[in-house]
Structure formats: structure tokens, C-alpha cells
Amino acid sequence: MRLFASLFVVGVLATAGCHEAKPTAGRDPNPEEDAKIRASLDKLAPEDRALAEFQRRCPISDEPLGSMGVPIKVMVNDQPVFVCCSSCIKSATKDPDKTLQKVNLLKESNSKKGP
């Protein structure tokens, strides 16, 4: 029984993914993290990289795209959306209108900031 309880706790923590509160959420990355993000974005195809750079943040967790590895491209109502990790895929597709609204806000905000 003790083994089952331990495995259950580990499973719950593993599936929690990026949805736990993080001190970096919503803030700009530091120079060290910025290098990690660039390296992750470099692994995307050029057209996907351009889209991910324009979006900049995950619409679910608000983490910088690339901060948790290579961003994941998800098609939401036939539109490409990038999320930070596999834990965000279900949330992104569960309410497509909300996700697309958030992505549009991110892109709008980023176009005002410039590169």
C-alpha cells in the first residue's frame, strides 16, 4: 500500500507539468535562460520558428516559448498555436476560442513591443 501511495504521488507530480506556479511566469527571461530559449527555437523549422517568436509566450502557462524545451505546435481551429510543453496541449485544445483569443492578444502585444 505504501508503494502504491508513493507511485501515486510521483504520478500526480509528473503530470502536473508546467501548470504549477512558477516565479518566472509572465516575466522576461534572464540572459542564461535566453540562450536556452534560442537553442530550443533553433530546433524548429524556419517558418515555425518565426511564428513561435512572434507569439513569444505559451497561451496556457504564460511561460516563454522555448524555456521548457522545443515549443510544441498544436493546430487549434486550423490555426497553428505553440505551447511550452505537452502538459499544455489538452488545455489549449479544450477551449479553442479562448486559446486563439489569448494567442491573438500575445501577438498584438508583441507587435507593439517590436523585435
- CB atoms under 10 Å from CB of 93, counted, come to 15
Q: Which helix or strand (DSSP H or E) is residue 19 part of?
A: none
20-30 per-position pLDDT tens digit: 334 445 556 68
pLDDT over 50 (residue 5): no
Distance of CA 42 to the CA centre of its chain: 16
Q: What is the mean pLDDT of residues 79-95?
A: 96
DSSP-assigned beta bridge partners for residue 79: 76
Regarding predicted confidence, which is higher, 87 or 23?
87
For residue 28, what pLDDT is reported? Answer: 64
Q: Please give the C-alpha separations between residue 37 and each of 14, 15, 33, 40, 91, in angstroms, as whole numbers.
A: 22, 23, 6, 5, 22
Q: Please give the C-alpha separations between residue 104 and each of 14, 93, 96, 100, in angstroms, as whole numbers.
A: 30, 15, 12, 6
Name the E strands within 42-96. 72-76, 79-83
Comparing C-alpha atoms, which of 63, 61, 66, 96 is closest to residue 81? 96
**In this structure, what is the dihedral angle of CA atoms 52, 58, 59, 61, given to the nearest 10 degrees?**
180
